[in-house]
């Protein structure tokens, strides 16, 4: 094949008969500057210990080098041990980047910079809700006010949408209706019953992309805080009374200064501190003086609206945004192991949320942490990729949801699709008079 390559045929002649004193052909210059190390062995051109590969054979050599799908660095190292041609390092790098199999199973990209939730003007304007448990075989629902950081925790006999609505009615009867509710994509939160309850009370519902609970980070952090402190308290007291430990924690938490606001949740939500047992050790006159000083000082608006992000900045580097029409890879959670599949950006639904169309004609909503820039591939590559049978462990269970999360997948141009799991058709009564909007 070396003799059939026009460039290498000339190099072969020069190597066997002698090189000219000057080289004006651009294609020959990479070989000319290495002429002192180019030799002929068994009618093959060698540069040092590396075989010089004809242009027609380079793609096959690249496939062999990358056959085990090692990364760019290791593939380059393997190349430098055996073969050479002009710009071979660049070709290896491009070949690895454009490998569909590698893109499908690559690691997740660096986490996107956390986008701060907008500040609220008043308490109970936006609340974040989540379930947690089982804790001592019991399930709980947590409701956190973003403005004051006040936490409500209620025991849930079950987490059906009807029971969830009933518990929220109790909480809202104490503190009023929020303007916005933030939840994950759990079945109880995406059911018609829950949606109807929010609609009838004029409450906006915000959910994160599937499998990205960090968007509802306030609820996630609060869950960890509650669970950790309850278990510690029970361990120290050698107690099995879960509800007593929970109530003690809530009293102390609501009466403790929060690092992101500079005041206690109780002061922000109800305008006063809660009386607790520690008040018993202070003289009555001291308590009166503290109350008077607080009334004279008032609350500093700048202090009350200080956000936790201003105290501790997130150091994760930001990644670029995607735009409509970009060919990307998105996380596929419907297989035995989450992987990446080719897709195209259809629409941007938020600063970090995108609607994507896969090459199997599914619409998936994904966060930017669940999207990576795709390699340059053509339709023939995809046809060859999807024509290969999917091999899955026979014992694996293939699901498309995690922890009862609902994945937003709608088939485009599909004749049939699995029947979705629906909640009971019971519709919750409205909590207050119907909003006229």
**CA 254, CA 227: separation in Å to the nearest integer?**
16
Strand, helix or coil for residue 193: helix
Q: Which of 23, 33, 24 is nearest to 84 (CA)?
A: 33
How far is Cα 429 from Cα 407, in angstroms, rounded to an integer? 27
Please say whether the beta carbons of 2 and 43 come within 8 A. Answer: yes
For the chain, what is the total number of helices (H) and then of strands (E)? 15, 15
DSSP structure string for 41-108: ETTEEEETTEEEPPGGGHHHHHHHHTTT---HHHHHHHHHHHEE-TTHHHHHHHHHHT-HHHHHTPPP
Contacts of 384 (CB under 8 A, 6+ apart): none
DSSP per residue, 127-163: EEEEEEEEETTEEEEEEEETTT--EEEEEES---HHH
Strand partners, 184: none
Q: Spell out the residues 6+ positions from residue 257 whose beta carbon is closer than 8 angstroms to its own.
A: 263, 264
β-strand partners of 356: 345, 364
Output b/e per residue, 199-237; b: 16+ Cβ within 10 A. Answer: bbbbbeeebbbbbbbebbebbbebbeebeebbeebbeee
Q: Which helix (H) or strand (E) holds 38?
A: strand 38-41
| Burial tier of 430 (Cβ tally within 10 Å: 0-12, 13-18, 19+) | middle
Q: In angstroms, how far is the first alpha carbon of the chain from the final one?
A: 77
Q: What integer pLDDT is reported at residue 313 of this predicted model?
A: 44
CA-to-CA separations, 285 to 282, 292, 294, 304, in angstroms, rounded: 8, 11, 14, 27
Q: Which CATH number does 126-298 carry?
A: 3.30.420.10
The Cα–Cα gap between 201 and 213 comes to 25
Give the whole-angstrom CA distance, residue 250 versus residue 116: 26
Ordered per-residue pLDDT tens for the chain, 437 residues: 677 888 888 888 888 888 888 888 888 999 999 989 999 888 889 999 999 999 889 999 999 988 888 888 889 988 998 999 999 999 999 998 888 888 777 776 666 555 567 788 899 999 999 898 888 888 999 999 999 999 999 999 999 999 999 999 999 999 999 999 998 888 999 999 999 999 999 999 988 776 555 555 666 777 777 877 777 766 656 667 888 888 888 998 898 888 888 889 999 999 888 888 887 877 777 767 766 666 555 545 444 444 444 444 444 334 557 888 888 888 888 766 557 888 999 998 888 889 999 888 889 898 888 888 876 655 555 545 444 443 434 343 333 333 333 333 343 443 333 333 333 333 344 444 334 33
Q: In whole angstroms, what is the distance from residue 407 CA to residue 190 CA?
A: 11
- Residue intervals of the chain classified under CATH 1.10.340.70 are 2-105
Instruction: Please name the residue that has the structure tokens 């609820």.
Output: 219
Beta carbons within 8 Å of 36's beta carbon, 6+ residues apart: none
Q: How far apart are CA 232 and CA 180, in angstroms?
A: 33
214-250 pLDDT tens trace: 555 666 777 777 877 777 766 656 667 888 888 888 9
Question: What does 393-434 look like in DSSP terms, one character per residue?
Answer: -TT----S-STTBPP-EEESS-S--PPPP---S--PPPSSSP
Find, among 412, 332, 409, the residue nearest to 370 by Cα: 332
**260 in Cβ contact with 306 (< 8 Å):** yes
| Residue intervals in the chain for CATH 3.30.420.10 | 126-298
Angle ∠(70,76,79) on CA atoms, nearest 5: 105
In the chain, ranges of CATH 2.30.30 domains: 326-375
Q: What CATH number does the domain located at 2-105 have?
A: 1.10.340.70
Q: CA 47 to CA 208: how far, in whole Å?
A: 56
Backbone phi, then psi, for 361, in 5-degree steps? 65, 45
Assigned CATH class of 326-375: mainly beta
Q: Is the dihedral of CA 18, 24, 26, 27 positive or negative?
A: negative
* Residue 367: CB atoms within 10 Å: 21
């Amino acid at each position: 094949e070396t003799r059939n390559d026009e460039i290498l045929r000339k190099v072969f002649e020069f190597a066997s008969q002698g090189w000219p004193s000057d080289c004006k052909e651009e294609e020959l210059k990479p070989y000319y500057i290495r002429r002192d190390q180019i030799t002929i062995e068994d009618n093959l051109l060698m540069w040092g210990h590396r075989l010089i590969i004809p242009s027609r054979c380079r793609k096959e050599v690249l496939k062999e080098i990358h056959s085990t799908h090692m990364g760019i660095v290791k593939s380059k190292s393997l190349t430098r041990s055996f073969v050479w041609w002009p710009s071979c390092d660049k070709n290896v790098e491009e070949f690895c980047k454009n490998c569909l199999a590698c893109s499908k199973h690559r690691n997740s990209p660096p986490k996107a910079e956390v986008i701060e939730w907008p500040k609220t003007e008043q308490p109970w304007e936006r609340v974040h809700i989540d379930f947690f448990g089982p804790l001592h075989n019991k399930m709980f629902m947590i409701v956190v006010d973003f403005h004051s950081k006040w936490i409500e925790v209620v025991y849930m006999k079950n987490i059906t949408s009807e029971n969830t609505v009933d518990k929220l009615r109790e909480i809202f009867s104490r503190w009023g209706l929020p303007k916005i509710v933030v939840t994950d994509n759990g079945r109880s939160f995406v059911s018609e019953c829950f949606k109807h309850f929010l609609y009838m009370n004029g409450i906006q519902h915000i959910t994160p992309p599937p499998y990205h609970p960090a968007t509802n980070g306030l609820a996630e952090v609060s869950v960890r805080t509650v669970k950790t402190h309850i278990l510690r308290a029970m361990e120290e007291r050698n107690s099995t009374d879960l509800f007593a430990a929970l109530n003690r924690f809530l009293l102390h938490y609501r009466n403790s200064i929060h690092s992101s606001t500079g005041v206690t949740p109780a002061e922000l939500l109800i305008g006063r501190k809660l009386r607790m047992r520690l008040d018993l050790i202070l003289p009555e006159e001291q308590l009166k003086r503290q109350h008077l000083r607080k009334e004279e000082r008032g609350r500093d608006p700048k202090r009350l609206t200080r956000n936790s992000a201003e105290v501790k900045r997130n150091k994760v580097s930001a990644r670029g945004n995607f735009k409509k029409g970009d060919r990307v890879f998105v996380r596929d959670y419907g297989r035995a192991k989450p992987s990446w599949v080719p897709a195209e950006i259809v629409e941007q639904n938020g600063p970090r949320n995108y609607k994507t169309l896969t090459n199997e004609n599914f619409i998936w909503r994904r966060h930017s942490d669940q999207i990576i820039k795709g390699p340059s591939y053509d339709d023939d590559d995809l046809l060859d990729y999807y024509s290969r049978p999917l091999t899955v462990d026979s014992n694996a269970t293939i699901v498309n949801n995690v922890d009862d999360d609902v994945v937003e997948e709608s088939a485009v141009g599909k004749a049939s699709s699995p029947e979705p799991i629906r909640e009971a058709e019971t519709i919750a009564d409205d909590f207050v008079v119907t909003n006229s909007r």
